[in-house]
Amino acid sequence: MKAIILGAGYGTRLVEEAEKLDDKDLLKYIRSTPKPLLEVNGRPIINQLIDRLATSVPSIRIVANNYAPFFNAFNAWFEINQSAYRSEGINLSLVFDGSYEFGHNKGAVVDMSLGFGFGTSDELADAEGCFVLAGDRLLPKNVDLEIMINLMKEKGTSVIGVYDTEDLSLMKGKSQLTHDENMRITSFKEKFPEAIHTKLCPGLYLFRPEDYALIPEFLKKSEFTDAPGYFVQYLFDKGVPLHGYELKSKLIDFGSLSSIPDTVKSAWLER
């Protein structure tokens, strides 16, 4: 079992919000620190993700970008952390997607492809499956990755996290899905413009090898590559069976200042 953490975003929403606040110290921290390395309760988000993955996943690959401040920050972090995690039996690797201009992302599915190493000597070979997670979201304590793994084995399908917002007013432009009583996905639309369902996938995926092997095919056919959900929609539309793992709590998202607790932002300013 392996995992890919997507950490190549630029945090443009965070930067835009900090610019509107005219907070130079906060803006400086955000512009020089990739979101996965932002500290929450004294520890980078990515370390907390790895700690959660470590009990189930012995091999973790991080995808970052080449924007100079983020590139340098990730390399410094990796130099410190790689050996420490290796001593705990975790094989940690870091790859860069080649994007270097702030705000000009390659796209999450392109970064997934890079993480899997398709067509290279570094291609992931795995007979079990691979988690894909956003690097700017923390997993709630009640998320059990072993249940997702067992569900994938039991159903023989890829598994996606499912969270019910119970509020249709929040759903415009979100991934929206439905499932049957056995949690088999019965509809899936990524970033759908109309609010028609209250359930979404918050960015937690476990793909079977035969499913993630379709990423190169997807990239040849689709121009919508900025979110992993577009690949999930592609699988669904092809008739590939998918199941959901019900999340009791939403993932803790650090993609915008409005979703970040004041105590965390205050700690950033005290650095």
User: pLDDT digit of tens for each residue in the chain (271 aa)?
Assistant: 899 999 999 988 888 888 888 888 888 988 899 999 999 988 999 999 999 999 899 999 999 999 999 999 999 999 999 999 999 999 999 999 999 998 789 999 999 999 998 866 666 666 689 999 999 999 999 999 999 999 999 999 999 999 999 999 999 999 999 999 999 999 999 999 999 999 999 999 999 999 999 999 999 999 999 999 999 999 999 999 999 999 999 888 888 887 787 778 777 766 6
pTM: 0.93
pLDDT at 118: 80
Rounded Cα distance between 193 and 174, Å, is 8
pLDDT at 262: 77
Instruction: Name residues whose C-beta falls within 8 Å of residue 80's C-beta, 6 or more positions apart in sequence.
Output: none
Instruction: Name residues whose C-beta falls within 8 Å of residue 28's C-beta, 6 or more positions apart in sequence.
Output: none
Strands 185-192 and 137-138: unpaired
Rounded Cα distance between 174 and 50, Å, is 26
HSE, CB side, 13 Å, CA atoms: give it for residue 109.
24
Rounded Cα distance between 94 and 71, Å, is 11
Q: For tokens 């705000």, name the residue.
A: 103
pLDDT at 119: 63
Cβ–Cβ under 8 Å, residues 248 and 165:
no
Rounded Cα distance between 265 and 271, Å, is 10
HSE, CB side, 13 Å, CA atoms: give it for residue 164.
8
Rounded Cα distance between 138 and 49, Å, is 6
